[in-house]
Amino acid sequence: MYHTCFDKVLQNIVKRQPKNVRVMIASHNEDTVRYAIQKMKEYDIHNDSSIVSFASLHGMSDYIAFTLANSGYQTYKYLPYGPIEA
């Protein structure tokens, strides 16, 4: 389902002005990241483009985020914080 939604977003980017659309792949799943990169290539979206960015939870598959960042992709780590209420 995640891949299908991403496909739909990319199809809509083509229909609209790419500068008006942004999508964040918020996943630590290697297959999803590979899929997104492949689709970016198919749609000629360069790795340094702000159209597609990647994010994952701090501590989850950091090696994927570091590899993406070192390859020039827009990459973010998020860290939830605050009190835990029971």
User: What does the pLDDT profile of the chain (86 residues) look like in tens digits?
Assistant: 888 998 988 888 877 776 778 899 998 899 999 999 999 999 999 998 888 999 999 988 899 999 999 999 999 999 888 888 87
pLDDT at 18: 62
pTM over 0.95: no
Q: Is 23 left (phi over 0), alpha (psi -120 to 50) or beta?
A: beta
Instruction: Give CA separation, 68 vs 2, 37, 41, in Å.
Output: 19, 10, 14
* Alpha helices for the chain (secondary structure H): 2-15, 30-42, 62-70
Q: In Å, how far from its chain's centre is CA 1?
A: 15
Report helix, strand or coil for 84. Answer: coil
